[in-house]
Amino acid sequence: MPRGSAPSIRMVAARAGVSIATVSNVLNGKASVAVDVAERVRAAIRELGYVRDVNAARLRAKKATLAAVVVPDLANPMFAAFVSVLEHEARGDGFDLAVLSSRNDPAEEAHRLASLRAWRPAGLIVIPCDGALVGRLPADHALPTVVADRLPDEGRFDLVAVDNGPVCAAMAGHLREAGARSCLVIGSSLRIANIAERWDGFQGAAGPLRAEMLEVGFDAGSVTRRLRPRLSERRPDALFALDHPSSLASFQLIGAMGLAIPRDIAFASFDEMDWMRLVTPPLTAVLQPVEAMAKAAWARLRARLDGDESPTGAIRLPCTLTPRASTRIPSGAIPR
């Protein structure tokens, strides 16, 4: 074999002493091949280190069995969990899944969406950086597309997301009943429709609870820089973080500042993660139905791939609020 060249199916056939068609039948798991012949082919594959070219096989069969998903950040546990469920659902239907991350960068997102065409996927599921998705799609974008989690700027795509407003209204009511008189609500950016919906839901139900919104950016350093002065100068009774990165960074900052939860400040989070149940005190949090959202997104895309031409629509899934000790404000603990 020439140095640097990959073994081919023709070389496997020659090593096993069979036809290329027989090797192909073994690779495709067809039962028509005799057991001893199939084992000879597999031995040749192992000896040569042959790896099947899946893309070439798809093109020869003229059948697309690849789908793609673009997410803002795979370091975010919520997005990673979404992809994990989506991959399982896709494999169950005989599809591979190409996973791409935009790293919360609109320019990178546009690049990823454009480069997808080289993969020739059958369809696309995308969690956009923000609402301005349509302008980042290639002008000739014609793939069946489902938008998940974050709301797009146009209704031309199917949407699967959570119902952000009602559960945040419930959180406002919970904090009022817990005894909080003021609450600082923090989130990455109000340019993201999800964050705006959560803030609107909370603010609309705050009533006598004094609510203030602070945009803190997308990384831990930005959260710390913007939040520390606010907590130092005029600390609220409660803090409600509208996304997981903001929750984690603000929780760490509160500890670094020597503040006790909930004695010095009550704390609640929108995105519930495992660690929030394990810390002391465990955190009041909103659980998003990530598994159900991923399954619904795949089901909607699969329906489109199977020829469903019905009008696009939106699926909104309910979230669950679980009060825990982090918002159990001791009587008279935060008079300021």
Exposure string over 188-206, b if 16+ CB within 10 A, otherwise e:
bebebbbbbbbbbbbbebb
2-6, 17-21, 306-310: range with highest mean pLDDT: 306-310
Q: At what angle do helices 35-48 and 9-16 cross, to 10 degrees?
A: 120
Q: Is the pLDDT of residue 53 over 70?
A: no
* pLDDT tens track for 212-228: 999 999 999 999 999 99
> What integer pLDDT is reported at residue 202 of this predicted model?
98
- Interacting residues of 240 by C-beta distance below 8 A, sequence separation 6+: 171, 175, 183, 184, 185, 186, 202, 268, 269, 270
> What integer pLDDT is reported at residue 21 of this predicted model?
83
Lowest mean pLDDT segment, chosen from 23-27, 36-40, 185-189: 23-27
Q: Is the pLDDT of residue 272 over 90?
A: yes
State the average pLDDT for the chain.
Answer: 90
Q: Is the pLDDT of residue 188 over 50?
A: yes
> What integer pLDDT is reported at residue 55 of this predicted model?
52
> What integer pLDDT is reported at residue 29 of this predicted model?
75
SS3 for the chain is: CCCCCCCCHHHHHHHHCCCHHHHHHHHCCCCCCCHHHHHHHHHHHHHHCCCCCHHHHHHHHCCCCEEEEEECCCCCHHHHHHHHHHHHHHHHCCCEEEEEECCCCHHHHHHHHHHHHHHCCCEEEECCCCCCCHHHCCCCCCCCEEEECCCCCCCCCEEEEECHHHHHHHHHHHHHHHCCCEEEEEECCCCCHHHHHHHHHHHHHCCCCEEEEEECCCCHHHHHHHHHHHHHHCCCCEEEECCHHHHHHHHHHHHHCCCCCCCCCEEEECCCCHHHHHCCCCCEEEECCHHHHHHHHHHHHHHHHCCCCCCCCEEEECCEEECCHHHCCCCCCCCC
- Which comes out higher in pLDDT, residue 52 or 275? 275
Mean per-residue pLDDT, 260-289: 97
pLDDT band at 62 (very low <50, low <70, confident <90, very high): very low
> What integer pLDDT is reported at residue 115 of this predicted model?
87
Q: Is the pLDDT of residue 43 over 80?
A: yes
Q: What is the pTM of this model?
A: 0.79
* pLDDT tens track for 216-261: 999 999 999 999 999 999 999 999 999 999 999 999 999 999 999 9
SS3 for 189-257 is: CCCCHHHHHHHHHHHHHCCCCEEEEEECCCCHHHHHHHHHHHHHHCCCCEEEECCHHHHHHHHHHHHHC
- Which comes out higher in pLDDT, residue 59 or 165? 165
> What integer pLDDT is reported at residue 64 of this predicted model?
55
Q: Is the pLDDT of residue 336 over 80?
A: no
